[in-house]
């Protein structure tokens, strides 16, 4: 069992070997390691040609040098070096914006940089207070899901726990519910269940998005022990997760398309929308639908019939007890 303060940011960051051997703990060290690895990974992805900088002689770095990032951001090399070593606590929004432009960060990466800086500023207070569990689903949200009987719908949290699903949602995610070792956590199912690569047609894309979303969640709430334990478990038990986590890419779940290979009805090509609750942006409602007149719509109707015969009262009650 990992220590509660352990975070995967301590693994394979490419930093000082003395730091990588240090005992992990809650606090600034974890945040500094994450900042260091993230900025270095983004710097490695940008070439001088992309920024219009001239290239002279042989280069020993994969992307930009620290001095080049500093020049593009309008700060001194010494100051940027301190930032890349993890000192974001006192940095102004103007400097963060300049860094985001210099490193050509997209909106998700920019938000992640801001989250890392915010955690650096408020880390001590958050560590003392801790992160409250987020598992409650309001009755109104439950009624909303049940009022959509022809669409698979779920309530999930930032840790990828399925907190609630309507009958068609449980039917769609039957392989997840059948794998009791995953405890209805789709990230754990994705990386640890043998059924996942069969269930998700585009497994690699799903997996990379899950890893990126977990990294975003970890930066927003670095003292969420359950999230830290989940990431630690996946890093320990899944080589694929460990490699993807090491890339320091960040992603968010938005609208899009997913392809499933369902054991009862075959392939389902569905669109999905995820809406986050105003009262808690760590809990989202995900709804799947099919294009009208498509084969997927016919398959959804078949899945609805299958769910009506396969669903048991015990399964429905267990879902609402979470």
pLDDT at 200: 98
Distance from the Cα of residue 225 to its chain's centroid: 15
| Whether 168 contacts 149, CB under 8 Å | yes
Q: Which residue has the tokens 């609402």?
A: 320
Separation of alpha carbons 31 and 7, rounded Å: 9
pLDDT at 13: 36
User: Which residue would you say has higher pLDDT here, 319 or 238?
Assistant: 238
pLDDT at 58: 76
pTM: 0.81
Quick one: which of 129, 134, 182 has its CA closest to 157? 134
User: Which residue would you say has higher pLDDT here, 161 or 320?
Assistant: 161
Which CATH code fits 139-320?
Answer: 3.30.450.180
Task: Quote the mean pLDDT of the chain.
Answer: 84
Quick one: which of 88, 98, 110, 87 has its CA closest to 216? 110
Q: Where are the domains of the chain?
A: 8-129, 139-320
Minimum mean pLDDT among 51-65, 127-141, 174-188, 245-259: which range?
Answer: 127-141
Task: Judge whether residue 255 has pLDDT over 70.
Answer: yes
Minimum mean pLDDT among 78-82, 172-176, 209-213, 318-322: which range?
Answer: 318-322
């Amino acid at each position: 069992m990992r220590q509660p303060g352990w975070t995967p940011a301590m693994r394979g960051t490419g930093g000082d070997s003395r730091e990588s051997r240090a005992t992990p703990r809650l606090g600034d060290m974890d945040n500094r390691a994450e900042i260091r690895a993230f900025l270095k990974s983004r710097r490695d992805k940008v070439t001088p040609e992309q920024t219009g900088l001239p290239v002279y002689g042989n280069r020993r770095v994969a992307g930009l040098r620290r001095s080049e990032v500093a020049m593009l951001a309008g700060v001194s090399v010494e100051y940027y070096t301190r930032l890349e070593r993890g000192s974001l606590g006192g940095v102004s929004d103007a400097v963060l914006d300049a860094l985001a432009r210099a490193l050509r960060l997209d909106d998700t990466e920019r938000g992640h940089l801001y989250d890392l800086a915010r955690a650096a500023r408020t880390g001590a207070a958050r560590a003392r207070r801790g992160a409250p569990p987020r598992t409650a689903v309001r009755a109104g949200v439950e009624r909303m899901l049940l009022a959509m009987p022809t669409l698979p719908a779920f309530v999930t949290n930032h840790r990828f726990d399925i907190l609630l699903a309507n009958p068609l949602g449980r039917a769609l995610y039957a392989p997840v519910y059948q794998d009791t070792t995953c405890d209805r956590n789709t990230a754990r199912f994705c990386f640890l269940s043998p059924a996942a690569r069969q269930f998700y047609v585009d497994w690699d894309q799903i997996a990379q998005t899950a890893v990126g979303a977990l990294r975003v969640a970890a930066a927003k709430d670095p003292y969420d022990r359950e999230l830290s334990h989940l990431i630690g478990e996946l890093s320990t038990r899944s080589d694929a997760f460990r490699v993807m986590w090491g890339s320091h890419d960040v992603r968010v779940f938005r609208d899009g398309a997913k392809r499933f290979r369902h054991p009862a009805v075959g392939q389902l090509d569905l669109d999905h929308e995820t809406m986050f609750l105003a009262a808690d942006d760590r809990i989202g409602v995900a709804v799947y639908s099919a294009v009208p007149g498509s084969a997927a719509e016919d398959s959804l109707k078949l899945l609805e019939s299958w769910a009506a015969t396969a669903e048991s009262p015990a399964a429905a009650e267990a879902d609402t007890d979470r």
